[in-house]
């Protein structure tokens, strides 16, 4: 499969993941069938992200540099986010903030990590 296919699959996984997190925080434990649906959506998003991420890694021949290891750790953190919110360990507001922060770091690592962490000049 082409790298573009993996990129599209990665974006679909990202949409599923954050829709699942947002849906869980919206419904909470109030409506059990909807909570189950958003939990499944969250899990499907995680699987799509993992498969497409490693597919792109294989297609581009990156190996295992620091930024890929960081993205795998962030993937684990985003996966645990729903469980922590469900158990009440994290308040919904904090889960949203942490999820956005982890997503931002993952996006930054994916965009700039492969170029040696060069920060683009402002202006």
- 3 state SS of 38: helix
The per-residue pLDDT for range 60-85, each reduced to its tens digit, is 888 888 889 999 999 999 999 888 88
Asked if residue 81 belongs to a domain, the reply is yes
Overall domain count for the chain = 1
Asked if residue 123 belongs to a domain, the reply is no
Report how far residue 50's alpha carbon sits from residue 14's, in angstroms, rounded to the nearest whole number: 10
DSSP state letter for 25: H
Supply the range of the domain harboring residue 46.
Answer: 3-115
Report how far residue 17's alpha carbon sits from residue 42's, in angstroms, rounded to the nearest whole number: 5
Across 42-46, 79-83, 97-101, 110-114, the highest mean pLDDT is recorded for 42-46
Asked if residue 122 belongs to a domain, the reply is no
Beta strands in the chain (DSSP E): none
Asked if residue 121 belongs to a domain, the reply is no
Contact between 56 and 13 under an 8 Å Cβ cutoff? The reply is no
Q: How high does pLDDT run on average in the chain?
A: 86
Asked if residue 38 belongs to a domain, the reply is yes
pTM of the model: 0.83
Asked if residue 105 belongs to a domain, the reply is yes
The per-residue pLDDT for range 10-35, each reduced to its tens digit, is 999 999 999 988 887 777 656 677 78
């Amino acid at each position: 499969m082409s790298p573009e296919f993996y990129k599209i699959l990665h974006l679909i996984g990202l949409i599923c993941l954050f829709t699942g997190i947002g849906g869980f925080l919206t419904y909470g434990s109030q409506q059990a069938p909807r909570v189950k649906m958003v939990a499944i959506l969250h899990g499907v998003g995680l699987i799509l992200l993992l498969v497409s991420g490693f597919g792109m890694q294989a297609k581009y021949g990156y190996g295992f540099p620091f930024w890929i290891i960081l993205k795998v750790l962030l993937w684990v953190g985003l996966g645990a986010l729903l469980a922590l919110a469900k158990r009440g360990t994290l308040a919904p507001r904090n889960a949203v903030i942490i999820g956005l922060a982890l997503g931002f770091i993952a996006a930054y690592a994916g965009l700039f990590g492969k170029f040696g962490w060069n920060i683009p000049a402002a202006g």
